[in-house]
Amino acid sequence: DSGVTQTPKHLITATGQRVTLRCSPRSGDLSVYWYQQSLDQGLQFLIQYYNGEERAKGNILERFSAQQFPDLHSELNLSSLELGDSALYFCASRAGAADTGELFFGEGSRLTVL
């Protein structure tokens, strides 16, 4: 158990819909990272938050948005869903923003868009 909790574990929805994925980081970790993992693209970095503020952006689509709340949990919002958005979405946390410490991953949220 990494200490990072992601909900829901599985989600099936239709194209055009909107979903919210939730992440609770390890206790005390200020940094939250979101990654998308698909068979053809591998593990793609989406976005990072540190203590409520956006710190780094990766290959995140404009249809996607995220935020980190004062209690440090984070949400990833995916809208106008397309078939190609089907993937495993991982949240990971780390104690700081600038260190090279271990990234602790949750078990992921598997999104299927039909």
| Of 14 and 39, CB closest to other proteins | 39
Among 4, 19, 66, 78, binds other proteins (CB under 8 A): 4
97 contacts other proteins (rule: CB under 8 A): yes
d(CA 53, CA 74): 11
Please report how close the Cβ of residue 65 comes to other proteins at its closest, in angstroms: 18
Q: Determine whether 1 is exposed, middle or buried from the number of CB atoms within 10 Å of its CB (0-12, 13-18, 19+).
A: exposed
Among 24, 34, 48, 113, binds other proteins (CB under 8 A): 48
> How far lies 78's CA from each of 53, 95, 97, in Å?
19, 26, 24
| Of 73 and 79, CB closest to other proteins | 73
Terminal CA-CA length for the chain: 31
61 contacts other proteins (rule: CB under 8 A): no
3-state secondary structure of 22: strand
Q: Which residues bind other proteins (CB under 8 A)?
A: 2, 4, 33, 35, 42-45, 48, 50, 55-56, 58, 90, 92, 97-103, 105-108
